Structure 1
Amino acid sequence: MRFLFPLTGFFVLIGSRLFAEGFDRPIPQAQSALAEFWYAMACIALILSMIAVQWLVSRR
């Protein structure tokens, strides 16, 4: 039984190398106008929330 353990590791290593595929980098897609609009809305909301926090903290 002891001699089977190294053999299984060897076969797993060889099998994973044989069936592995190369890495294909994803191609970035252009953003749609709708995505850019919602990104702008999120940026504005973030800035407004930071202003609100500063206003609340400075009142103390």
Structure 2
Amino acid sequence: MRIFLSFVAIQFILGTVAIADGFERPIPQAQSATAEFWYALACVALVIAMIAVQRLVARR
């Protein structure tokens, strides 16, 4: 038990001495041409799917 308590005490002392770095905001990366192509393709596919659903619902 003494070993455990001494270990906890050492960890507490060493933990309080450490100084945290300040928060650095992440810098967003630019989108690649490939990502823009796939995003545009997904948008077109979504519009086509929405038109298909609208026509299917309008028939009933």
What's the C-alpha RMSD, in Å, of the aligned pairs? 2.3
Q: Which amino acid aligns with 1:27?
A: I
Count of equivalent residues: 49
Unaligned runs of 5+ in 1: 1-11
Residues 1-60 of structure 1 correspond to what in structure 2 (within 5 A)? 15=15, 18-60=18-60
Q: Which amino acid aligns with 2:42?
A: A
Tell me the TM-score normalised to structure 1 length. 0.65
Provide runs of 4+ in structure 1 moved above 6 Å: none
Tell me the TM-score normalised to structure 2 length. 0.65
Deviation at 1:45, TM superposition (A): 0.5
Identity %: 70
Partner of 1:5: none
